[in-house]
Amino acid sequence: MNVRVLTACMAIIVVWSTAGAAPTPAGGGWWDDTPWQNPERGFNWYPPDAPPKKSAKKSEEKPRDIKDMKTMPELQAELARLKDLAVMQPTRDNVRNYLEAQTYVMDKSALFADVARRVVWATPSVDYNNRSPTATFAQLARKDQRSDDQARTLAELSRDYGLMFFFRSDCPYCHQQAPVLKLLEQQYGMPVLGVSLDGGVLPQFPDARRDNGVSMIVSQGQGITAVPALFLVHRASRQAVPVGTGALAIDEIVERIRVLTRTQPGQEF
């Protein structure tokens, strides 16, 4: 082989080898690498995308001060969080933080209550005292007026209505209720008809009728399961209104009749 040609070939090999051994510049990619420098490079495949670098973990946000919160859900959630923390980790700081937050919430509630009562005093439409006075003298006057209304109501109703008294002869409360009903009949003129569920009688109602199915009629098919039981019955239409069961004082019976016949639900509340 010609010496010149051999020398030229050797020079090319040296230059190529030196260039191949040059370090990859910083930041070089897959295309800048060689199998001789990185055995993992491979010849016939592309490398997968490098996983994204994990960002530094964000520092936990400091909880907001409860006094900076503007809505009830926020306030309630923060108070609940502080309470849970104080109970589960009862350190002095946790307990103090909860108690301070609780005091803040109680102060806000007290402020609301104070403002609310001032609004009530200045606004007749929301002042319940207008409908139901709490002053003693007003209560006494209202009681006297109600007694007059009761007497007038029963006097008017006695023309068209009567009371049905359902009892059992072996019921101790029925024996106690009977004289009360007799007194009501004498005092207000409201007729009372005794109806025996077991066929027995009471001293005050010796002529009581035996139940012949009327208990099912006045109870709208439900039957009477508790005695004594009172029903206000319209004599002409036979429509019945339950007054109550169990032993009742005369004032309570009269008041229930007045409410059931002279007022609408919610009228006196």
Each residue of 170-218: pLDDT tens digit? 999 999 999 999 999 998 888 999 999 999 999 999 999 999 999 999 9
Domain-located, residue 226 = yes
N-terminal to C-terminal alpha carbon distance within the chain:
126
Does 196 lie in the same domain as 152?
Answer: yes
Alpha-carbon distance values, 175 to 165, 191, 243, 252 (Å): 12, 18, 18, 18
Domain-located, residue 89 = yes
Domain-located, residue 88 = yes
Counting the structural domains of the chain, the total is 2
Q: Could you report the per-residue pLDDT of 227-243, keeping only the tens digit for each?
A: 999 999 998 888 899 99
Cα four-point dihedral sign 16, 18, 20, 22: negative
- Among 117, 152, 170, identify where a domain stops: 117
Specify the DSSP class assigned to residue 59: P
Domain-located, residue 67 = no
**pLDDT at residue 156, rounded to an integer:** 84
Q: How many CB atoms lie within 10 A of CB 152?
A: 12
Q: Could you report the per-residue pLDDT of 105-130, keeping only the tens digit for each?
A: 999 999 999 999 999 999 999 998 88
Does 161 lie in the same domain as 201?
Answer: yes
Alpha helix ranges (H) inside the chain: 3-20, 72-88, 92-122, 136-157, 172-188, 214-218, 250-262
Q: Could you report the per-residue pLDDT of 11-31, keeping only the tens digit for each?
A: 554 444 444 444 544 455 656
**pLDDT at residue 194, rounded to an integer:** 95
Domain-located, residue 43 = no
CA distance 258 to 241: 12
Does 249 lie in the same domain as 152?
Answer: yes
Does 156 lie in the same domain as 197?
Answer: yes
Does 168 lie in the same domain as 104?
Answer: no
**pLDDT at residue 248, rounded to an integer:** 95
Say if pTM beats, i.e. exceeds, 0.85: no
Does 90 lie in the same domain as 141?
Answer: no
Q: Do 127 and 121 form a contact (C-beta atoms < 8 A)?
A: yes
Residue 97 lies in domain: 72-117
**pLDDT at residue 146, rounded to an integer:** 81
Does 160 lie in the same domain as 113?
Answer: no
